[in-house]
Amino acid sequence: MKFRAVRADKSESGQDVRFAEMSADELMEGDVTIRVTHSTVNYKDGLALSGKSAIIRRFPMVLGIDLAGIVEESARPDFAKGEEVILNGYGLSETHFGGYAERARVNGDWLIKLPAGLTRAEAMAVGTAGYTAMLALMAIEREGLSPSAGPALVTGAVGGVGSIAISLLASKGWRVIASTGRASETGYLKELGAAEIVERAELAAPGRPLGKERWAAAIDSVGSQTLANALSQTRYGGVVAACGLAGGMDLPATVAPFILRGVTLAGIDSVQCPMPRRLEAWTRLARDLDRGKLAAMTATIPFDQLFDAGRRILRGETRGRLVVAIE
């Protein structure tokens, strides 16, 4: 059986990333084979599709960090043929063939049965970005914070993580401050639940080690100077959940927010997150995420438009979530 996939191979110039025809015997080891119907485009996918990223750790590699589909074959009693499943993280597109293919064979320990109330397309509209946003909200809540503590900042607000983070926070009663460099998207952000818009440049420029206390919590997908400024302006006892690096991997900050205001910096990892916490996040997403807002922030593209979407997400020209219809 032949199927289409987006595959990265080593080449003399670095990486050769392209559509390829593959066969079932080329799939990697696993005890569940899936007919993939949907995937997503995350910032990390855009980096991999560019052929210039160090994300891929072995070659050849099928790209795509998310997938949703239907079980075709299973050697496990807990996943039956015909069941709908989703998968994100666990090294997809890095060390194990990912979701940009019509077929996938994976370790069943990584799979989650499609949460009740979500379609496969909706699950991929959530994808790693939305799942990460929920993990960030859960980290803030674990520190005992609630909307009564003060506002919550969301950076990279127009992106996938930011869009879903705004919706989730607003639904829980938080007053959300959204940071973006795209003033034209103000209406979109307010429809999702943002109460205030902060210009991206305000947080991207070098700031003071300790600034005016402005928010009690923050979800940051940007990193670098933006994260440093988010920390420096967090209120006493506040929490900043860091989950991205769109602005850079560095952190030009000081210890002042931590030792003078007791601020907590919570790191969010979506790839190897333990299954109990992963299941909690997906259960809450299926229950709490406003479907109307999810639809408003989602666009669906055919498989053939994947490379163009990857370029656009790296240029900051997309908003919300991109679902890839594999079939």
The string of DSSP letters for 80-104 reads -TT-EEEEE-TTBTTTB--SSBSEE
Q: Which residues have C-beta within 8 Å of that of residue 293, sequence separation ≥ 6?
A: 167, 191, 192, 193
pLDDT range class, residue 188, cuts 50, 70, 90 = very high
For residue range 102-116, list pLDDT tens digits in order. Answer: 999 999 999 999 999
CA 281, CA 285: separation in Å to the nearest integer?
Answer: 6
CA 125, CA 37: separation in Å to the nearest integer?
Answer: 13
Q: Which CATH architecture has domain 129-267?
A: 3-Layer(aba) Sandwich (3.40)
Residue 54 has pLDDT above 90, yes or no: no
Tokens of 32: 């569940």
Q: Please list the residues that pair with 242 across neighbouring strands.
A: 220, 267
Whole-model pTM: value is 0.95
For residue range 207-221, list pLDDT tens digits in order. Answer: 999 999 999 999 999
Average pLDDT, the chain: 97
The percentage of residues in the chain with a pLDDT greater than 70, rounded to a whole number, is 100
Residue 52 has pLDDT above 90, yes or no: no
Residues of the chain with CATH 3.40.50.720: 129-267
Residues of the chain with CATH 3.90.180.10: 2-114+297-325
CA 242, CA 327: separation in Å to the nearest integer?
Answer: 34
Tell me, rounded to whole angstroms, the distance of Cα 2 from its chain centroid: 30
Rounded to an integer, the average pLDDT of 199-207 is 96
For residue range 229-271, list pLDDT tens digits in order. Answer: 999 999 999 999 999 999 999 999 999 999 999 999 999 999 9
Residue 160 has pLDDT above 90, yes or no: yes
Residue 14 has pLDDT above 90, yes or no: no
The candidate with the shortest Cα–Cα distance to 128, out of 312, 285, 16, 255, is 285
- CATH 3.30.160.100 correct for 2-114+297-325: no
